[in-house]
Structure 1
Amino acid sequence: MNGTYGPAGTTASDAGPPGLPVASGRETLREVWRLSRGYRLRLAATGVLGIVSTGVDLIVSVAIGYLVDRVQDGTADLATVLTVTAAMVLSAVLGAAGTALTIVLATRVYHSILAALREELVGHAMALPQHHVERFGTGDLISRSSDDVTAVADAAPAVIPVLTVTAFTIVVSLGGLAALEWPYAAAFAVVLPVYVLAVRWYLRIGLGVYRAERTAMSARAQQILESQRGYATVLGFGIAEQRHRAVMTNSWRVARQSLRARTVLSMLNARLNVGECLSLAAVLVVGFVLIDHNASTVGGATTAMLLVLRLLGPVNQLLLVIDTLQSALASLSRMIGVVTIPISPADVPAQTANTGVRLDEVTFRYSDGPRVLDDITLDIPPGQRVAVVGVSGAGKTTLAGVVAGTHLPQAGKVTRPGRTAMITQEVHVFAGTVRDNLTLAAPGAADHDLHAALEATGAAPILDVLRDGLDTPIGVGGHPLTDAQAQQLALAHLLLTDADLVILDEATAEAGSAHAAQLDRAADAVLAGRTAVVVAHRLSQAATCDRIMVMEHGRIIETGTHGELVDAGGVYAGLWTAWEAGR
């Protein structure tokens, strides 16, 4: 697996295999700023409302200080107490209402921006070349589009109230201290570097730790996904225990990274407690000195202490959600890492208005393995149907993938039509109705178009056993389809795409079943009049094609019509003889 992506401060053993890129802090900030376009005026209004609401809350501290001074002077009476109480109640009500509205507005903007990012993530991920995704592991991409999106979304209820209150409280409280007596603000400002250094230390260490935790989760997801997808292989080769150990190894890696994250959080907690102690001590000492020199009053010192305590409260709340915030930021940078992956023109096969296919000296290998395709040169004229046959491991499926563009050759050039569609043996039925599955290929198709496609591929009888016809749910949780029915539905789906080039990679490989002839007829209907590459499992299907190519060890060793190759007495003739004998 290529690539050097990974969180700073982690080793290969900690972070697991390299995955898709992770955006830097600057890239993340730039993308969030871009996504905020259209919401910036609302954000500015939210900021103003937040500052005003927090400013109103200062009345409580000032009122208490005022009352303390009046009591000390002996001038306080019932009217003074009632006035101060009314001011405090009114301040609390207005401040709470303003803060609540600020949080609601901030949350709406947050989720609007997150929704836009989620749509871009899915859209960009779907546009990534398949070879790019497979190189880093499908599990990593799935983790980013599920676990990471969930982490960022779930952080909103905990983080947004604390962040909004903390940010505005710090600004307003420092302003209030300066307006009261500048020495109080200076005393608190002297201690601020303790908080700044603590937060800087945490941001430098914490982000890498949380990225490593997310990377470990991606590696675990990849192992679980591979075990589930390859369930039959796992059972067939008796490697269940091996796969179990792989999942457990990655799960323990997640546990270690989670413990590291909690340890870093505890260390931050200790640093902030030191800052809190120093802040209170500094203001108390300054208050004592000012009162001793008649530069302040007991009420002024009380107000200053209340403002500092009011400031430390949100900071402590921020401490409680700082791990959630860091986790969300790590997830956000992973999501944006996918969005910002450049798609180079070199990642996509050249497209032409011509409906033919051209491969010029194409070479392909998986990672650092041996060549799977070795110097393939191939011309398929428009409208010609070409079958690719050969023993297992000859390179047939890889050739189909290179023609389709799911694999990028290491050398050579591939040219194909822009409208290309491919079906493999492992077809997928999406959760939804029959209509939903078919209209994925043609959103504007009317019901009569869907019925025509089903009729052409012999899939119309499927509707006879479905209670609600096209509106019957299928896939997960819906009406189950047999393998043959799923393949017929996939062929109807492909017919609706009206592609210029069709690639069938053993897409009708119901070998030896009662449905083989039916699937062959369905394939003929789909391929009629189109350029086609057919990786043929059954040689009877290859025999009906315009041309047959025989592959061996990544090379094309024979090419010609069925009759020409049988008469030549070569490899294909031997395969055909064995096929006929098997029938």
Structure 2
Amino acid sequence: MTASGSRAAADPAGTGLPIAGGRETARELWRLSRGHRLRLAAVALLGIAGTGIDLIPPVAIGVLVDRVRAGTAGSGTVLLVGALMAVSAVLGTACIAATVVLAARAYHTVLAALREQLVDRAMTLPRHLVERAGTGDLISRSSDDVTAVADAAPTVIPALSVSTFSIVVSLVGLAALEWPYAVALAVVLPVYAFVMRWYLRTGPRVYRAERTAMSARAQQILESQRGYATVLGFGLGTTRHRAVMAFSWAVAVRSLRARTVQSMLNARLNLGECLSLAAVLVVGFVLIDRDMSTVGAATTAVLMVLRLLGPVNQLLFVVDTLQSALASLSRMIGVVTVPVTDPGTVSTRPGVPAAVRLRGVEFRYGGGPPVLADIDLDIPAGGQLAVVGRSGAGKTTLAAVIAGTLRPDSGTVHRPLRTAVITQEVHVFAGTLRDNLTLAAPDATDRDIRVALETTGAAALLALPDGLDTVVGAGGHSLTDAQAQLLALARLQLADSDLAILDEATAEAGSAHADQLDRSAAAVLAGRTGIVIAHRLSQAAACDRILVLDRGRVVEQGSHAELVGAGGVYAGLWQAWVAGQQVAAEGAPTS
């Protein structure tokens, strides 16, 4: 299988995480509604009953008007009409309240399930997708978009659960009263249709752009926070501030455009309301003038239209909020529905002798020159390969392609399903030492943890103030760089992966802990397939085979002894390494 091909649904820019289409969003929501469909049916029945009851007051008032004109209305008639209106108000309000409550429960239950799936799927996304899109996109979807969907509930739920039923029932009641009134209103309905057509062509595009701008801003803020030390070290505070401000202004511009569209929608709805009332009043005047209707019936018709215009405007106006929520919803579902299996790589299958196999792999960043070119590589199960080369040779890129973090532009990549990567930038999570160690092995016991720490030479971590219960990371006990790297190696030991990739994972170079970290890495790699991006050539010399990269191409490969004897690129690197070590030893202070 080639390592090309991508998910069809993507964001408009083509670089972010996928965005679900309308059908895909509807299909996923229908799936999430399982277990709530009886409640949704009850919502429909209560909504129809509640809006039907709300038609009683206009009809009662119309009858009262005709009785007054005929001189047959007495105190009993007024009391009866008043009682009907009071009872209908209570019953209608109760039905509508029950409708909104049931709809809100279903809405928030489905949203909670979707949020849980979003978080769960975000933890297992194909790594090349997250790398390409930027973590800001993922954070925006799990924060800004979730908030947008949740905040839409107070306006969207009443509109969808009540207004829709009000429109249907009111139109039926108006037609039953006098069909010319229904016709008059029907003539004006195309105005609303044109409003909706205009908005549906404009709104989604505007809100998608707004959400995309928010994702870009989140990425800039996140990068500034993560690179805080670099920003301070190089005096980049002003530069980063300008970058964040530029992206923030982009969000402001997109948000102003969205609010402008909202105002234009409101103006068009007001026009539709005026035309609807005018049409019904004109028809009522004509019918009464020709004795084809009564003042009471015309009053009922006007009251029905007034009651109908509110839900119509509410429903159409809430489409503004609904479109924004749907834009966020499609972004959330776009993450949830990312295929579980990464199509860019193929895991090693039974019968395939090589634990890792690359054929014709090429990779480039964007439209730049090739960073990797025509890479063929086989690593047998249990074999250990060191990758060396000058800075910029493509070592880290090769490790990322094998790990699946980056997808090659062409060629095939086979690797074990259980692959773990440790880089030089080790993250210590806020939590106990035990929590940090069991991240990749949740079922590990304290005994398993101690064995892993002893195997990797990190048993000294048990001497922390509270042992395994010591809180480390942000707000807790601060670990040194060497301790953090030992923790990562112990974590890898507990994970017991088939393939371990150490991308300068022990590059705490020049410190007194270098030899200890090398021994710990060797202990972790023992008995499993390993790839070492060697920072120190002493690490490379300990591996079964060495791969030398130069400008993205394999220029040499073989054992340490073979390459030193060949007198090529590696031999030169080794001589320079040995000379450097001798100089360092001679310059070290003596006791």
TM-score, normalised to structure 1's length?
A: 0.91
State the match for 1:394 in structure 2.
393
Report if aligned partners of 1:349, 1:405 keep a CA contact under 8 Å in 2: no
Question: Aligned pair in 2 of structure 1 residues 471, 324: CA closer, same or farther (>3 Å)?
Answer: farther
Q: Which letter maps to 1:504? A: L
Provide the residue aligned with 2:542 in structure 1. 544
> 2:184: which partner in 1?
187
Partners of 1:313 and 1:48 in 2: CA distance: 21
1:158 to 135, 141, 155: 155
Deviations along 1:120-166, one digit per CA (max 9) or x if unpaired, are 43444444432233233332232222211221122112211122221
Distance 1:6 1:376 in 2: 29
Q: Which residue of the partner structure matches residue 535 of structure 1?
A: 533
Are 1:22 and 2:19 counterparts? yes
SS at structure 1 position matched to 2:17: coil
Q: Measured at CA, do residues 393 and 312 of structure 1 come closer, stay the same or move farther in structure 2, by a change above 3 Å?
A: same
Task: Spell out the pairing of 1:38-437 with structure 2 (5 A cutoff).
Answer: 38-318=35-315, 321-341=318-338, 346-353=343-350, 354=353, 356-437=355-436
Partners of 1:249 and 1:228 lie apart in 2 by: 17
Deviations 1:451-500 (A, max 9, x none): 32233233343343243x43444333444333222222222221111111
Aligned to 1:574: 575
> Match of 2:321, as an amino acid?
T
Q: Aligned Cα RMSD in Å?
A: 2.7
Letter in 2 for 1:335: M
Residues 401 and 43 (structure 1 numbering): CA distance in 2 closer, same or farther, change over 3 Å?
same
Q: Structure 1's 575 and 376: CA in aligned 2 closer, same or farther, altered over 3 A?
A: farther
Contact residue 3 and residue 18 of structure 1 kept, 8 A? no
Is residue 512 from structure 1 mapped to residue 513 from structure 2 by the alignment?
no
Q: Is the 8 A contact 1:21 1:337 kept in 2?
A: yes
Deviation for aligned residue 1:202:
0.8
Cα distance, 1:320 vs structure 2 = 5.2
**More moved, 457-466 vs 441-450:** 457-466
Report if the CA contact (8 A) 1:28-1:333 is conserved: yes
Give, as a single letter, the amino acid of the residue that structure 2 aligns with 1:533.
I
Q: Partner of 2:152: helix, strand, or coil?
A: helix
Partner Cα separation in structure 1 for residue 477 and residue 75 of structure 2: 77
Q: CA deviation at 1:503?
A: 0.7
CA contact (8 A) 1:216 1:250 kept: yes
Superposed, 1:446-525 pairs within 5 Å as 446-467=445-466, 469-525=467-523
Extract unaligned runs of 5+ from structure 2: 1-5, 586-591
Kindly provide the CA deviation profile for residues 516-555 of structure 1, in whole angstroms up to 9, marking residues without a partner as x. Answer: 3332332222112111111122223333323333322223
TM-score (norm 2): 0.89
Q: CA separation of 1:433/1:299 partners in 2, compared to 1, >3 Å: closer, same or farther?
A: farther
What SS does structure 2 have at the residue aligned with 1:510? coil
Amino acid at match of 2:540: A
Quote the sequence identity (%).
Answer: 69
The question of whether the paired residues in 2 share the 8 Å contact of 1:397 and 1:535 is answered with: yes
Structure 1 residues 422, 344: closer, same or farther in 2, change over 3 A?
closer
**Cα offset, 1:314, TM superposition:** 2.5
- Any idea what SS the aligned residue of 2:426 has? coil
Q: Secondary structure at the match of 1:481?
A: coil
- Kindly provide the CA deviation profile for residues 380-423 of structure 1, in whole angstroms up to 9, marking residues without a partner as x: 22222222222211211112112212222223322222221111
Which shows bigger deviation, 138-147 or 91-100? 138-147
Please give the secondary structure, in 1, of the residue aligned with 2:291.
Answer: coil
Gaps of 5+ in 1: 8-14
Query: Partners of 1:532 and 1:556 in 2: how far apart?
Result: 18
Q: Which amino acid in the other structure matches residue 191 of structure 1?
A: V
Deviation per residue, 1:324-353 (Å, 9 max, x gap):
222111112222333444577641234234
Structure 1 residues 558 and 355, CA gap change in structure 2 (3 angstroms): closer
Once the two structures are superposed, what CA deviation does each residue of 1:413-453 show, in whole Å capped at 9, x if it has no partner?
A: 22222221111111222333333333331222223222322
Letter in 2 for 1:465: L
User: What is the letter of the counterpart of residue 540 of structure 1?
Assistant: S
Q: Structure 1 pair 435/315, CA: closer, same or farther in 2 (3 Å)?
A: farther
Once the two structures are TM-superposed, the CA of residue 16 in structure 1 deviates from its matched residue by: 7.0
